[in-house]
Amino acid sequence: MDTVTVTARLDEARTADSRTRDRICDEVAAELLAAEAPPSFEVRSADLRLDPYFMCADRYWRQRFLERPTARTALECARWMSDHVGDGSWGAVAEQWGLGNGFLNRGSVESVDQIAGAVGEAGTGTEAERVAFFLALFHAGKLRANFCFDELHAFLVSSPVSLAANSLRQAPVFLALRSFAAFGSRALTVAYAAELLEQAWSSSERTRHTVDICLNGLAFATPFEEQGELLRSHAEEAVETYPGDHMFHARLATGLHMCGRHDEALASIDTALALLAASPTASLSVLQDQYLTKRDAIQEGRLRAVRDAEHQRRWEQQAAANVQLERSLHTSSVRAVEVVAVFTAAIAFAVGSLQVTLTGKLPLTDRLWLLAAQGAGLALFALLIVGGTWLITRSHQQVNSGGE
């Protein structure tokens, strides 16, 4: 297929509806693959929805990577990009193809030496740095997809491939990948990962892929304190910036779920599913399964939270009832002691008074005084028992009140 024909068909696709555009791009890419001829047109954006030139090139190189997911293919793609992708779009295209094709071909991971061999053929200068950067993204995309956190961190920090990228290693997407690796590693600290996250997130050159990797790292990090809150706050910012991105709504749902805000999480994951249904992504079914699994987890968490709240309420009611019962039993026992003391004093007085009255030989006046003294003594005894019991129980109640 000659360049004029390809250009005419892609220009036709630019004004067509989305289904016709997809069909034309698929057909042109298939014909280029059959002719073993790389696209000869230029790519000026990384828009997978509206730019038929990028869409066609994306399909062409995706198939090339699927047929041979090696650093050699990545080298050929990087060289093609040097000649056919403008400087203004090169970074976005490199991130899309490097990370995306790395994810799609995660089952085929080469050694660092194999990748370094390809970089050695890139020459020198700016083009060589870009080639190294693209190969680094391609390999990092595989390691990220396989959650090889420590291996990914070592590759990004010290491999010859990454070092060959020179200043491009300070790109936000590169810092985000290091943050992702650090959050998942059990050998690195959360503080180190958070510092890298902040550097990538606050960069004025932050891209959509940078945001995605940062949120991905927080979502799959080794659990740490405030993880859910950190993910929620960053995901909310991402949703504000990219309101139509289903992935960021799904990340927000994960953060809200971690924070125990299940109703909000359910709303976010439903939004993600709705946006996904209208997305042209090639991995629709895979992502849909992931989102539905997350939705089930949120539903389960919500039901568990409701059950836990009910159990907590019942436990608190039972605890309050137990305290009330304890107080009632304690008060009853105290009153019983008081009654026994008074009753004992009354019996003692009655017995004593009978003895004095019936068997006494003292004059009446003396017997009356004796009875009065005996009654006063027994009354004082009962009063001391009752008063002492009151003081003891009052102190006990004050201690219990202070503890509550």
Q: Where are the alpha helices (DSSP H) in 105-171?
A: 112-119, 125-145, 149-158, 160-163
Q: Which pTM does this prediction carry?
A: 0.76
Rounded to the nearest 10 degrees, how much is the dihedral formed by the CA atoms of 302, 303, 304, 307? Answer: 130
CA angle 369, 375, 376 (to 5 degrees): 90
* Confidence check: pLDDT of 321 > 80: no
The pLDDT value given to residue 49? 87
CB 284 within 8 A of CB 276: yes
More confident site: 282 or 246: 246
The pLDDT tens digits of the residues spanning 109-118 come to 999 888 888 8
More confident site: 293 or 310: 293
The pLDDT value given to residue 353? 57
The pLDDT tens digits of the residues spanning 263-278 come to 999 999 999 999 998 8
Average pLDDT along the chain: 85
Task: State the Cα–Cα distance between residues 13 and 83, nearest whole angstrom.
Answer: 23
More confident site: 260 or 342: 260
The pLDDT tens digits of the residues spanning 15-39 come to 899 889 999 999 999 999 999 899 9
Average pLDDT over residues 154-177: 94
* Confidence check: pLDDT of 3 > 90: no
* Confidence check: pLDDT of 181 > 90: yes
The CA-atom distances, in angstroms, between 297 and each of 47, 99, 248, 255, 300 are: 33, 28, 18, 13, 5
Distance of alpha carbon 185 from its chain centroid, rounded? 16
CB 184 within 8 A of CB 222: yes
Query: Where on the phi/psi map is residue 123: left (φ > 0), alpha (ψ -120 to 50), or beta?
Result: left
Q: Would you list the DSSP string of 341-353?
A: HHHHHHHHHHHHH
Average pLDDT over residues 185-193: 95
pLDDT tier, 393 (very low <50, low <70, confident <90, very high otherwise): low
DSSP E strand stretches across 4-103: none
